[in-house]
Amino acid sequence: MMIKKKIQIKEDIFSSNDQQAEAIRLLLDQHKLFSINIMASPGAGKTSLIEHTIGLLRNELHILVIDGDIATSIDAERAKAAGAASIQINTGGGCHLDAFMVDKALSDVNLAQFDLLIVENVGNLVCPASFQLGTHKNILVASIPEGDDKPYKYPGMYQGVDGLVINKIDLMPYVPFRMDYFLAGIELLNPGIEKFMVSCSTREGIKEWSEWLVNQVRSKRSLPRTTG
């Protein structure tokens, strides 16, 4: 009986989160504001990727960053220093963002002035993929030093995303990492997923990733304005 009750509560949490996420998606669509949710383990390079992306696109797009962290506003300040508007969410111990936190963060924002919304989730490879935030694409940042077995050990995360950024590829010569084994795991879980090989140190691949984002923003803009 106890077990059944626990499962029921979990389902209720997910379904109300999904409803809130759907409301956010409608709001973003009304403003033709393309959005991504960036997830990764701590230290994979989410914030560095966001900084470099802002650096390349700041003259082209108005970017809003929502940063989710357990504590501090370090990442939101980095995004702001790079040239974006930023909002920090502190989860106070919570290990993921949910749609209610994002809704609250967006409540005072004039969405019409932005072209791209980047949500940086809490560093965690387990539960962020289970909580939709209403963003258009879920992106996972993997990094070479984490090891090539991560798709096999964290299948939920690798399955639940629309794009994969493989960061720190400049470290390939220095750490044991079998790219074939890593990519085979991804192909099993998420065949044909969009992949970007980047290094935030050498800036290799950042341009291709940024161009993909700009194309996503452009195709969102060309859609007819939704009503209601």
Q: Which residues bind Mg ion (CB under 5 A)?
A: 46-47, 75
C-alpha closest to that of 68 among 92, 85, 45: 92
Q: Which of 31, 46, 52, 96 binds Zn ion (CB under 5 A)?
A: 96
Q: Which does 168 bind (CB under 5 to 8 A by kind): Zn ion, Mg ion, none?
A: none
Q: Which does 150 bind (CB under 5 to 8 A by kind): Zn ion, Mg ion, none?
A: none
Rounded to whole angstroms, the Cα distance separating 149 from 155 reads: 10
Contact flag: residue 197 with Zn ion (CB under 5 A): no
In this complex, which beta carbon is closest to Zn ion, that of residue 70 or of residue 171? 70
- Shortest approach of Zn ion to residue 51 CB, angstroms? 25
Contact flag: residue 70 with Zn ion (CB under 5 A): no
Q: Which of 95, 171, 172, 183 binds Zn ion (CB under 5 A)?
A: 95
Q: How many CB atoms lie within 10 A of CB 147?
A: 14
**Alpha helix stretches (DSSP H) within 58-203:** 74-82, 99-106, 150-153, 155-159, 179-189
Backbone phi and psi for residue 117, each to the nearest 5 degrees, phi listed first: -110, 125
Outline where DSSP puts E strands in 123-176. 137-143, 163-167
| Number of amino acids touching Zn ion (CB under 5 A) | 3
Can you tell me which residue has the tokens 């209610």?
100
Contact flag: residue 98 with Zn ion (CB under 5 A): no
Contact flag: residue 121 with Zn ion (CB under 5 A): no
Binding site for Zn ion (CB under 5 A): 95-96, 127
